Amino acid sequence: MAREVVIVPGNGGGNIFSDGMWYGWLRKKLLEYDSELTVKLEDMPDPVVGRESIWIPFMRDKLKVGENSIIVGHSTGAVAAVRFCEQYKVHGIVLVGAYTTDCGMENEKLSGYFDRPWQWSKAKQNTEWISQFGSRDDQYLSWDEQVEVSVGLETDFHRFEDRGHFIEPYFPELVTLLKGQLMKN
């Protein structure tokens, strides 16, 4: 039974509570919905590059992501969520702006996430459900890579035409999805 949500932001180095993104807003909305729910949100170590060798142990050891956790990962956080689930069990994952290659960006090359093939079947086996949000007009990610993630993981894919990289201060569709998943438990 999922009783916690762990929000894993994208890389970039901004303060996750004050950068105008939906992370803090989502935390607040989930706690308003269920005050007994644990919602974890912290600045990630190595926030600019987002190295797998640092983020995965931080998720496991500091954030204590486990079998009762729902990971909400955005951008690099989505990539980290998939790689985490290749090794560890979680209750569910929500991928926002997920992708499969370094997109030709130096920081992404240095992250280590893209140095080996994706283990879609292991990730699927280690979670009860996977949802995904993607937008055709994402300014950083190709639509084909977002679809590749959906096909590889057989996600419940919420497709948009006009949301870019999901960097708005509000994300009501995500709240609706999470409330629906939490009510199932």
Strands 129-135 and 92-96: parallel
75 is catalytic: yes
Residue reference for tokens 């999901």: 166
CA atoms of 160 and 181, how far apart (whole Å): 21
Q: Could you give the C-alpha distances from 8 to 40, 81, 89, in angstroms and in order?
A: 9, 8, 16
Exactly one of 34, 142, 156, 165 is catalytic; which is it?
165
C-beta separation of 75 from 97 below 8 A: yes
Exactly one of 69, 91, 135, 138 is catalytic; which is it?
138
For the chain, the maximum distance between any two Cα atoms, rounded to a whole number of angstroms, is: 42
Residue reference for tokens 């996750």: 16
115 is catalytic: no
CA atoms of 98 and 31, how far apart (whole Å): 25
Exactly one of 69, 75, 111, 131 is catalytic; which is it?
75
Strand partners, 133: 96, 158
138 is catalytic: yes
Residues with a catalytic annotation lie at 75, 138, 165
